Structure 1
Amino acid sequence: MASSLLLCLLLCSYYAIAHGGNEHDFVVVPTSSFASEPACSAASSRATSAPNRASVPLAHRHGACAPSGATDKPSLAERLHRDRGRRNYIVSKASGRTTLLSEGGVSIPTSRGDAVDSLEYVVTLGIGTPAVEQTVLMDTGSDLSWVQCKPCNSSECYPQKDPLFDPSSSSTYTPIPCDTDACRDLGSDTYNHGCTNGTGPSLCQYGIRYGGGSTTVGLYSTETLTLKPGVSIKNFSFGCGFDQHGPYDKFDGLLGLGGAPESLVSQTTTLYGGAFSYCLPPGNSTAGFLALGAPSNHTAGFVFTPLHRFPDVATFYMVTLAGISVGGKQLDIPPTVFSKGMIIDSGTVVTGLPATAYSALRSAFRSAMSAYPLLPRNDGLDTCYNLTGLSNVTVPKVALTFSGGATIDLDVPSGVLLEGCLAFVGGSSDSQVGIIGNVNQRTFEVLYDSGKGKVGFRPGAC
């Protein structure tokens, strides 16, 4: 054991000399850290507190800490396939390209990625009075929140572990009438609101069709949303879904955290100032958190970079990447390569870089990891390593620098490697927007503060 550790330390020193850094720019990682733990470990989240802040636990949907219980985890190839679809869709939407698909004679705009199955993190909230617990996927790339509602039979709704929300049992549920500003503001070009055609009052309908063909249709409604005991949001606008189709997987709905008016963040601006944060845990068997509102001591432990928005797409949060370093050495990447910006997204797994930036990163990372044999390309990831039989691996630190000088050292290995593969891919060119995926965000508290126009990163938060 001692000789193995000594060898790793010697390798660190060798890499440092060879690549112009020092041993602090490399991390000796036990290969056991790449394996998932079978049980949920004690939460180590350190959400910064404030009187006007509400925090709830967050977990990976396929991990042991998921409130609805772990489901069969898809293979890496399946995750990457879904992830690529989501990433491609976000890029196309950011470029102003929208596709209309038909569902039951009604045109519903395609929203988000290849499928809802590309989303990975869940939170448990209460909806209605009395509150009914619902486990929902959180998504910074979506705006309208929804849950499945009664009366839904097996042909109209997919199976979920929690009881379906029953609006007739809630004293605070109200469907939104069709001829109202709230319904008109939903926007036919976004969620294709329509009106019910029955004998009773005409009610507002919403419809979303995701890129992979999954759909949700129902009544646009208001209800009390309970974040935790004693902390509730009254008259929260959401979708009460009565017709869902697609490869959904046990979760009860979706929580939209985007920047458009329909999102939870926008609806609670008067309460929480348009700010929220989360910490994605380093593994699937530990917990993180989602918090509404900014910390009281707003700058403690954070580094900040300006937040940008697309003029015609309010959903996405964008920052400007200024540089990348590997093993303490700054890569030679022209600043113009990053001119299109980077969307920060909780639902995308792997970070997509402009082609020139990725080429430089891949070359430097492979050079620093040259002691380990490369594996064949894995459905888009082309820098994967065979670590079989090794007790420890020496991994170079990867740092991202944003406009304004904010620099973050990605967590090693959880923020750099995904099942032994470098968690980055390259775009087809330098002419499209990039995306910072959730692997790179692990262990950071990522603070989105629309009111102050900045994004913050606080390391070691979970």
Structure 2
Amino acid sequence: MASPVFLCILLVIFGSYLSICAAGDGKQSFVVVSTRSFQTEDVCSTSTVTSWPNRAAAPLVHRHGPCAKSQSTDKPSFTEALHRSRVRADYIMSKAPRGTTVQEQDEGKVSIPAYLGTSVDSQEYVVTLGLGTPAVEQVVLLDTGSYLSWVQCAPCNSSDCYPQKDPLFDPRKSSTYAPISCGSDVCKILQSDDKLNNGCSMNGNGTQSQCGYRVEYGGGSKTSGVYSNEALTLAPGIVIKDFHFGCGYKQGGPNDKFDGLLGLGRAPESLPVQTSAVYGGSFSYCLPPVSSGTGFLALGAPSNTSAFSFTSMTPLMDYATFYVVELTGISVGGKQLHIPRKALEGGMIVDCGNIITQLPTTPHAKLQSAFRAAMAAYPLVPSDPDETCYNFTGYSNVTVPKVALTFSGGVTIDLDVPNGVLLDGCLAFAESGPDGYGGTIGNVQMRTSEMLYDVRGGRLGFRAGAC
């Protein structure tokens, strides 16, 4: 049998050299990239967020990159990113107790059960929104694994709130702020949610008045305060008049720089559900290829979705806040891996708050083996056997195999090369657990694709090269 003929085309993109190599049949399988593409730029590469009819969009940036208003000081190494992803993924997949009651008295006024949520410190992308009237900028973490949004609120001293660059949101200075009352339907819905188990704050004479919330995350972070109603500015001229969020007066744990969290999950408290009457419950985002780039978050779906490839999306068992898709195959360097179908059962949670994709044992082992074989020309860094990290010192260019994920319906997505495959020179995949256990799709693998969550239609769309 004759050996396949490879053709290479040299391109220059953003000052970096990139070469696409294809087999004789024209099928792209490897990409030659400059090692400069692995390095984080010190200068923000801004781009204008497109204004679409019937959609609201805001710029999205990496909180450790130069585009962030205030860079977080805890940029994780690959090992730390792997650890954070494991902690978050293990919690999400573990069916942890969802009603553990913890009584806490805050100055004798609040007694609220706790909910162990997901991990805040693994999240990496932020958007800047306006809260209140007049609007005050707030930099909030993006999270599809949470649904209650919150920000830190004044008055709050240094022992109750963590440091942030922006001034704390002060509801006393907003003409549109109102605490949600205990007897309201909004509070009753919050209280009836067995994943939040919230309660009500008490006024001075011992009667219930304001709706309280309390969330404790798996990474040790926690927030509590008053569930509130306020005007939310998504973009210039686009204001949500009655946005429900947590006004946090007591925070704790390993938080840093960001002002709060924006919940994008499927429950009634989330931003997409709250705005579903206007934007249909759909939303999308595009994560930039590198931390010095800019992406976007958008509410609503485009009128023409022909550029998207869609796969079915379902809730995770009785834990409906998460978005789940079915992974059916993986290819490396244009070659499909032989993975037993049962190994991929269990579904994959699409989690923009997680960093690295977690795969069951057999799929992960086969991917790692195929990737190492394709990268055999480069020295591995001695590390944990579960890690695949390379020493590219002395190389100006490296040849990286394309990795593609196939989902139900035959939808195949080519991951961005190198930044959707490698993180700090390491293969950005880890093991989630036994075959059939399921896993998570992390944010590294989402880079450069617009991810469209069509919740009403029960499908997830991918549009390549969107940012």
Q: TM-score, normalised by structure 2?
A: 0.90
Q: 1:165 to 1:260 in 2, by over 3 A?
A: same
Establish whether residue 331 from structure 1 lines up as the match of residue 337 from structure 2: yes
Per the alignment, residue 358 of structure 1 pairs with: 364
Cα distance in structure 2, aligned partners of 1:103 and 1:199? 19
- The match for 1:171 among 175, 179, 185 is 175
* Corresponding letter in the other structure for 2:314: H
**Cα gap change, 1:223 to 1:342, in 2 (>3 Å):** same
1:108-257 counterparts in 2 under 5 A? 108-113=114-119, 116-187=120-191, 189-199=194-204, 202-257=209-264
Distance 1:191 1:140 in 2: 16
Report the structure, 1 or 2, having the larger strand content. Answer: 2
Which whole-Å deviations, capped at 9, do the CAs of 1:262-312 have from their partners, x for residues lacking one? 10011111111110000000001011000000012122x211101111241
User: Could you list the per-position Cα deviations for residues 299-332 of structure 1 after superposition, in whole angstroms to 9, with x for gaps in the alignment?
Assistant: 2x21110111124112100111111111111111
- Please report how far the alpha carbon of residue 50 of structure 1 lies from its aligned counterpart in structure 2 after TM superposition: 3.4
Deviation at 1:103, TM superposition (A): 5.7
Task: Say which SS state the counterpart of residue 138 (structure 1) adopts.
Answer: strand
Task: Tell me the distance in 2 between the aligned counterparts of 1:405 and 1:90.
Answer: 26
Distance 2:317 2:342 in 1: 21
Give how far 1:431 is off: 2.9
Residue 63 of structure 1 is matched in structure 2 by 65
Compute the RMSD of aligned alpha carbons.
Answer: 2.2
Q: TM-score, normalised by structure 1?
A: 0.91
Residue matched to 2:13: none
- Provide the rounded CA distance (Å) in 2 between the counterparts of 1:192 and 1:50: 38
Residue ranges of structure 1 left out of the alignment (5+ in a row): none
Question: What does residue 102 of structure 1 align with?
Answer: 102
How much has 1:129 moved relative to structure 2? 0.8
Contact in 2 for aligned 1:64/1:70 (Cα 8 Å): no
**Higher mean C-alpha displacement, 236-245 vs 355-364:** 355-364
Q: Which residue in the other structure is 1:419 paired with?
A: 424
Aligned-partner Cα distance in 1 for 2:239–2:175: 15
Change (3 A) 1:205 1:70: closer
- Give the CA deviation at 1:452: 1.4
* Amino acid aligned to 2:102: S
Aligned length: 442
Structure 2's unaligned 5+ residue stretches are 1-9, 11-16, 106-111
> Residue type of the partner of 2:427?
L
How many angstroms apart in 2 are the aligned matches of 1:120 and 1:101?
30
Q: Once the two structures are aligned, what percentage of the paired residues are identical?
A: 60
1:264 maps to which residue? 271
Structure 1, residues 84-116: CA drift from partner, whole Å, max 9, x if none? 2111111114xx643736362653110012xx1
Match of 1:77, SS? helix
Instruction: Say which structure is richer in helix.
Output: 1
Distance 2:127 2:64 in 1: 13
Which of residues 339, 348, 356 in structure 1 aligns to 2:354?
Answer: 348
Deviations 1:172-227 (A, max 9, x none): 11111112221121136222322222226621100001112211010011111100
Q: Tell me the CA shift for residue 23 of structure 1.
A: 7.7
Amino acid at match of 1:199: G
CA shift for structure 1 position 339: 1.8
Runs ≥4 in structure 1, deviation > 4 angstroms? none
